[in-house]
Structure 1
């Protein structure tokens, strides 16, 4: 069991998290005692080969799935102990998730898509904060456009703004550049970087791309359901080299 820490003042914490699917001889263990401590304002990339547990880790950390054992803390709340309705409300208010497929509502404008989580929560929109978020992701001139009128990169900007507008404890991104061309992908990665630095959000990104991972403060590596190492501010080549040796694990 390998523990990965990023300074103090934890915004996201996983303690001895395991996740097993099925039972008996058919049981498959996707996570094996994972520990992870991340501070607010950090940007962490998670990498590993297919089947290493990346998606399971992301879903458990974001409260989309429950660990079999261990605990997941977001801010001061152990979300792994919340009942389903309470967990749904907590995710709405404290978790931002950036999907690879954007998941925007086609009938709504960019601004309406961004503010949707606040409206669903019955919260008023802080105009100053909304302007700051919209400007930070470069949507100032796109507020009135609907998804069909925007490029893939522009839609992903909307998805990022929607994920951070509620001031969540953590923002999770699932292969956010997987469906984008290289130029647009770089723009999205720069936005995630600004999300951490300018908006003081904790960003956790799962990716298979060494170039994308190199935008993060730290890259952690999963193999067979456990963290097996990390690199701080690496180059894409260092990430790629590290990935080639994961098979030895």
Structure 2
């Protein structure tokens, strides 16, 4: 009796972030401004992507739409398997809390809370108990295992940004969005934070999307995407800081 061998199942890489024909406009009539023009982008889980462009190019609008902080005028935004551009406001707020991590230039830590309390704040707001094993792993991964009881005022800027990164990771989000995460740090501390973001992508298979104006910061990413006049106008894979700077020159920033 012959047995039939099942055909192998090919599983494509999981998609963490997808934008389909996303347009964003503000105002109307003569005051109408188009900030994004039919943007398409697909990011695989575990990727680290930097977004760069001149001032007013649309990179911040892209970040806000991709992270669910703003709604596109047209098109769709998917995080994991959810089309967040179709969610109602309350559902979108809940989704962001549970599925999106944020890291900003300002650390946005609550001064009265300890490291551990700041890290677990998204879970507290959701009425969920932390997974102690995952919490211990995340706090250790960002180098804060011995500082869990400290408050922000007792920590350096770099340590506070590590707390913000751990807070962004604690819910195991579909993606972490970072907006100029090293802007308030000196170059050495900034490099350590960027190395940490890269390790979260490599070691934790966490998707990281970072907006930055710094070619050195961008060069830590797997891919640098360039934005001009509301559209993606090219990318570089694993570039050097000089290659990023040279590319930006052609976009008219310097």
TM-score tier (shorter): over 0.9
1:24 paired to 2:29: yes
Q: How many residues are treated as equivalent by the alignment?
A: 242
1:164 paired to 2:164: no
Gaps of 5+ in 2: 1-11
Q: What secondary structure, in the 3-state scheme, does the structure 1 residue paired with 2:181 have?
A: coil
Within-5 A mapping of 1:70-219:
70-219=75-224
Within-5 A mapping of 1:237-248:
237-247=242-252
8 Å contact from structure 2 (residues 13, 45) kept in 1: no
1:68 to 58, 70, 73: 73
Structure 1 residue 8: Cα displacement? 3.7
1:33 to 35, 38, 43: 38
2:241 to 215, 230, 236: 236
Deviations 1:205-234 (A, max 9, x none): 000000000000000000000000000000
Aligned mates of 1:77, 1:42 — CA distance in 2? 19
Structure 1 residue 96: Cα displacement? 0.3
Structure 1 residue 103: Cα displacement? 0.4
Deviations 1:64-98 (A, max 9, x none): 00000000000110000100000000000000010
- 4+ residue runs over 3 A deviation: none
Aligned mates of 1:194, 1:116 — CA distance in 2? 23
Q: Comparing 15-24 with 118-127, which one deviates more in the overlay? A: 118-127
Per the alignment, residue 3 of structure 1 pairs with none
TM-score of the pair, normalised by structure 2: 0.94
Gaps of 5+ in 1: 1-6
Structure 1 residue 9: Cα displacement? 2.1
Structure 1 residue 135: Cα displacement? 0.8
8 Å contact from structure 2 (residues 35, 61) kept in 1: yes
